[in-house]
Amino acid sequence: MSRIKDQFNIGEAFSYFLRVFSKPDPNKPTSFNLKTMHFINKISILMFLVCIIVMIYRAFTR
């Protein structure tokens, strides 16, 4: 039973969303490539959430 519970643990996913959208640590060195990667990652997460909302909306309006 605990294996099934571990498969559906979404707490880590939500903590990842919070980490992605938090301010970066000013003490860590960053490069242009790293900043670009994080920016693209933020865009993809937002697009995914918008698509999920649209799919849920369409499911309830049909």
Domain that holds residue 14: 2-61
Exposure of 13 in the CB half-sphere (CA atoms within 13 A)? 7
The pLDDT of 14-42, averaged and rounded, is: 81
Backbone phi and psi for residue 8, each to the nearest 5 degrees, phi listed first:
-100, 20
What pLDDT is attached to residue 1?
A: 56
pLDDT higher at 45 or 30: 45
Residue 20 and residue 42 in contact, taking contact as beta carbons nearer than 8 Å: yes
Q: What is the mean pLDDT of residues 20-33?
A: 79
Q: In whole angstroms, give the CA distance from residue 27 to residue 33.
A: 17
Query: 0.85 cut: is pTM over it?
Result: no
Q: pLDDT grade, residue 38 (50/70/90)?
A: confident
How many domains does the chain divide into? 1
